[in-house]
């Protein structure tokens, strides 16, 4: 078996620091279970605010929503851009939920940061080194998704880029990797959770939506992630999934999300109370 030397890593390794707890407007990530939920994309004010209210009512801690969408096809909906960010600002005001939103261009970082509680770097940009360096100087926490073709070591090197620019607040998000399997959209590498907890002090969360790409698998894999020790879940919810402009097949309805939240909180409490006896 290949030895993991991780020889170029410094700041990201667990041996060098205490567990990082990222705090955004009073919400912690890195202790307990933090749930970030919302639509794939900001499509309109009504759609975003209605979905935001629903996820808040179900107990979500933060709102997600993309205003800049990195789409495979140039002809697909690319997001509302600045108007999407303004809508997210309104949703933040109405619900009190801090906002996670993606930035895809280094030139946009400074002004996107004004609208975001957390800046997301998506799977396609994990190794966009100029973007990583730029967000390292953004003054905002970064949610760094795993590249769909990347090893844990490559991923940790990307976090190291951000840390080395002086930004200590990074959340790692496993969102599935490409394998030969085609039934699921990607293969969720749940082992990344305990593996990263061995290697790094950074919080690690799971995205059951983009990893499975299948509605029926989202709840079981979210629960499995909690059992594996995830610090959080990032999940797509849409007020009317059938109308979604992006990822319509895999968004939970507000009702489905509510049901899942009850189970997630219950399992998380069970795990944290030490009621699950590991010996």
Report the residue from 11, 12, 22, 40 that binds ligand PEP according to the rule CB under 6 A. 40
Rounded Cα distance, 249 and 209, in Å? 10
CB-neighbour burial class of residue 125 (10 A; exposed 0-12, middle 13-18, buried 19+)? buried
Nearer to ligand PEP, 11 or 150 (CB): 150
Task: Report the partner that residue 160 touches, choosing among Mn ion, ligand PEP, none (CB closer than 5 to 8 A by kind).
Answer: none
> Does position 247 bind Mn ion by CB under 5 A?
yes
Task: Report the partner that residue 122 touches, choosing among ligand PEP, Mn ion, none (CB closer than 5 to 8 A by kind).
Answer: ligand PEP
Report the residue from 92, 175, 185, 197 that binds ligand PEP according to the rule CB under 6 A. 175
Q: Which two tokens stand for residue 95?
A: 């619900």
Task: Give the H or E element holding residue 222.
Answer: helix 215-228
> Does position 237 bind ligand PEP by CB under 6 A?
no
Task: Report the partner that residue 32 touches, choosing among ligand PEP, Mn ion, none (CB closer than 5 to 8 A by kind).
Answer: none
Cα 224–chain centre separation: 16
C-beta of 57: minimal distance to ligand PEP in Å? Answer: 22
Q: Identify which range of 43-51, 160-168, 219-227, 246-254 contacts Mn ion by CB under 5 A.
A: 246-254
Residues between 192 and 221 with contacts to ligand PEP, criterion CB under 6 A: 207, 210
Given a contact cutoff of 8 angstroms between Cβ atoms, the answer to whether 31 and 73 are in contact is no
Residue with tokens 């039934």: 183
Rounded Cα distance, 88 and 154, in Å? 32
Instruction: At 221, give phi and psi (nearest 5°).
Output: -75, -30
Given a contact cutoff of 8 angstroms between Cβ atoms, the answer to whether 174 and 233 are in contact is no
> Does position 174 bind Mn ion by CB under 5 A?
no
The closest residue (CB) to ligand PEP is 122
Rounded Cα distance, 233 and 212, in Å? 13
Nearer to ligand PEP, 176 or 267 (CB): 176
The residues with which 118 forms a beta bridge, in sequence order, are 100
Nearer to ligand PEP, 152 or 267 (CB): 152
- At a CB cut-off of 8 Å and minimum separation 6, what does 53 contact? 94, 95
Nearer to Mn ion, 40 or 152 (CB): 40
Task: Report the partner that residue 95 touches, choosing among ligand PEP, Mn ion, none (CB closer than 5 to 8 A by kind).
Answer: none
Rounded Cα distance, 260 and 276, in Å? 20
Task: Report the partner that residue 203 touches, choosing among ligand PEP, Mn ion, none (CB closer than 5 to 8 A by kind).
Answer: none
> Does position 40 bind Mn ion by CB under 5 A?
yes
């Amino acid at each position: 078996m290949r030895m993991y030397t991780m020889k170029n890593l410094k700041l990201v390794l667990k041996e060098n620091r205490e567990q990082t707890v990222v705090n955004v407007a009073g919400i912690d990530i890195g202790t307990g279970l933090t749930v970030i939920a919302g639509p794939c994309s900001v499509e309109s004010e009504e759609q975003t605010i209605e979905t935001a209210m629903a996820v808040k009512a179900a107990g979500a801690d933060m709102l997600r929503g993309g205003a800049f969408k990195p789409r495979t096809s140039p002809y697909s909906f690319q997001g509302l851009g600045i108007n999407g960010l303004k809508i997210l600002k309104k949703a933040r005001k109405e619900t009190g939920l801090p906002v996670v939103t993606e930035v895809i261009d280094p030139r946009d970082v400074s002004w996107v940061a004004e609208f975001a509680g957390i800046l997301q770097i998506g799977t396609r940009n994990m190794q966009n080194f100029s973007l990583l360096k730029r967000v390292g100087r953004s003054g905002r926490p970064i949610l760094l998704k795993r590249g769909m073709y990347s090893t844990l070591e490559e991923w940790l090197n990307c976090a190291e880029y951000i840390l080395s620019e002086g930004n200590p607040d990074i959340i790692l998000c496993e969102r599935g990797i490409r394998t030969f399997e085609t039934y699921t959209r990607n293969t969720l590498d749940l082992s990344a959770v305990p593996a990263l907890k061995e290697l790094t002090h950074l919080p690690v969360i799971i995205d059951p939506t983009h990893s499975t790409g299948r509605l029926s698998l989202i709840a079981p894999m979210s629960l499995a992630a909690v059992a594996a020790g995830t610090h959080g879940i990032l999940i797509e919810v849409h007020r009317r999934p059938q109308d979604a402009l992006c990822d319509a097949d895999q968004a939970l309805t507000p009702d489905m999300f509510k049901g899942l939240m009850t189970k997630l909180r219950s399992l998380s409490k069970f795990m944290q109370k030490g009621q699950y006896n590991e010996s």
